[in-house]
Homo-oligomer: A and B are copies of this chain.
Amino acid sequence: MQAQFEQHFKVRDYECDLQGIVNNAIYQHYTEHTRNEFLRTKLGGIDHFHQRGIDTVVARLEMQFKAPLRPGDEFVCTLNVRKEGLKYLFSQDILRLPERKLCVHALTTVVCVVNGRLGRCDELDVLLPGVESENIGR
């Protein structure tokens, strides 16, 4: 099954730590950057929302570390999103190229904060697969 979105990366040496592999927290940066690039293609960047009093906020995160990335490795970070109640669940894999070996799996729960309170933000439904332009007038 093909992912909804995929971002290409190459490990930068400064992202690696004492153990000679990418530091764990950096993988969270990779998944965040991939989500933000996906939002940018669909909605115009998180700053676009922020100015209208809407913030997307990470409420919860689960990561499984399967294999490390090393200096110079190329990889993709995939993204699929589904909705549960007010939550948007982003399922993401970090796959080392060229063999697309699974290095990290991450599940991130994002909610909307509207004017400072947890709220409904149906505009984000444009992120869901198959929604695209039918329901959302931009």
Most B CB within 10 A of own CB, among A17, A18, A60 = A18
Residue A6 lies at the interface, judged by CB distance under 8 Å to chain B? no
Give complex CA distance A26, B24 in Å: 11
- Within A67-104, the residues touching B (CB, 8 Å) are 71-72
For residue A110, give the distance in angstroms from its CB to the closest CB of chain B: 10
Binding site for B on A (CB under 8 A): 12-14, 16-20, 23-26, 28-29, 32-33, 36, 40, 45-47, 50, 55, 57-65, 71-72
Q: Which of B12, B45, B65 contacts A72 (CB 8 A)?
A: B45
- Which residues of B have CB within 8 Å of A13? 17-18, 32-33, 36, 46
Q: Which of B32, B47, B71 contacts A25 (CB 8 A)?
A: B32
